[in-house]
Amino acid sequence: MPGMRLHDPTGNRLYLNAEERAAFLAVARRQPARDRTLCETLHYTGCRPSELLEITPARVDLSGGTITIRSLKKRKDASGRSKVAYRAVPVPPDYLDTLNTAHGIREAQKSRRRAAAPIWPLSRVRVWQVVKRIMIEAGIPDAPHRSPKGLRHGFGVNATVQGVPLHMLSKWMGHAQLSTTAIYADAVGKEEQDIAARMWG
């Protein structure tokens, strides 16, 4: 993913900051179950919308506290053939309780057919529309970061600020190269201030 960055060529921020992430989550939690869990999943896993749409009950580990996501970016093995890669992302227990209650995850896991059915049978366009509507309601400015990708980048920046090691964040985000994840170490503004404050004691 060469050229990935946190600002566009004119200096506009491409990620949600901490306040915007909190506002997005607060509005999402007032939505009907489908939209709430969709937004919470993007918020807590940092996954791409296309990856979200592949999540099934079988990939939700209620007792282990993780969601397994299939990385949809093209990967090659040593012989140059495409390979499938999965990653397990840890998520909060309260979120899993909400997901289970809203979508009957535990019950669905008892049936092979239901366990393999997508939790959100929607199009990518519909996911984008839901996210955009909630971001507008949350007061996030009309700027390049008001998008699902801005939410994903916000996840990466927040994890860096909270001290998550880059190799772990790289795994959670499904990056093939650690150098891709390293852009989140370039967090700026209040995020950079928070990191610096740790050094100051």
User: In this predicted model, what pLDDT tens digit does every residue of 47-80 receive, in sequence order?
Assistant: 999 999 999 999 999 999 999 999 987 666 667 6
- Residue 201 forms part of a structural domain: no
What is the domain-level CATH number for residue 27? 1.10.443.10
**For the segment 182-199, what is each residue's pLDDT rounded down to a tens digit?**
888 776 566 677 767 777
**Whole-number Å distance between alpha carbons of 30 and 11:** 33
H-helix or E-strand spanning residue 60? strand 60-61
**Whole-number Å distance between alpha carbons of 123 and 121:** 7
Strand partners, 7: 13
Residue 8, both tokens? 């566009």
pLDDT value, residue 201? 63
- Residue 59 forms part of a structural domain: yes
pTM, two decimals, is: 0.88
Sign of the C-alpha dihedral computed for residues 112, 115, 118 and 121 taken in this order: positive
Per the structure, how many domains does the chain have?
1
- Residue 7 forms part of a structural domain: no
- Residue 38 forms part of a structural domain: yes
If phi > 0 it is left, if psi is from -120 to 50 it is alpha, else beta; for residue 65 that is left
- Among residues 179, 122, 151, 131, the alpha carbon closest in space to that of 45 is found at 151
- Among residues 43, 63, 73, 38, the alpha carbon closest in space to that of 53 is found at 38
- The rounded average pLDDT for each run of 10 residues, N- to C-terminus, in the chain (201 residues) is 74 92 98 98 97 98 98 70 88 98 98 98 97 98 95 94 91 90 74 72 63
- Residue 13 forms part of a structural domain: no
- Residue 77 forms part of a structural domain: yes
- Residue 199 forms part of a structural domain: no
Helices (H), the chain: 18-28, 33-45, 49-52, 93-103, 105-108, 112-115, 124-137, 148-161, 166-173, 178-181, 190-200
- Residue 12 forms part of a structural domain: no
* Owning domain of residue 87: 18-192
